[in-house]
Amino acid sequence: MEKEKENPYHQFNAQILDNWKDNGVKYIKLVELESDLPVKFFELIPDSEIPDSGETIYAIGSDDITELLEPSKKIKFLVHDIYLEEED
């Protein structure tokens, strides 16, 4: 029996942030994901320095990034598996 398609996203957390800092990530881009749910989802993309319209770039050491770790019922910050593959 084949497994159902697994969710490729993980909620952003302090461990991911520390790993990115350890691996030299300088910037994080926030991209809003489309959803029919009452929750807004944002994907965090490391070392993406060129924003498209409606996207925001933050330096990894900024207070804005630390605020993304705070729990919220209406907003979720997610990281795709492909940005976690470099973890040691």
Q: What are the tens digits of pLDDT across the range 8-62? A: 999 999 999 999 999 999 999 999 999 899 999 999 999 976 767 667 889 999 9
Partners of residue 44 on adjacent β-strands: 30
Partners of residue 79 on adjacent β-strands: 10
**Which pLDDT belongs to residue 86?**
55
Position 33, amino acid: L
Ranges of each domain in the chain? 13-83
Give the DSSP letter string of 20-70.
HHHTT--EEEEEEEP-SSSSEEEEEEET-----TT-EEEETTSHHHHHTTS
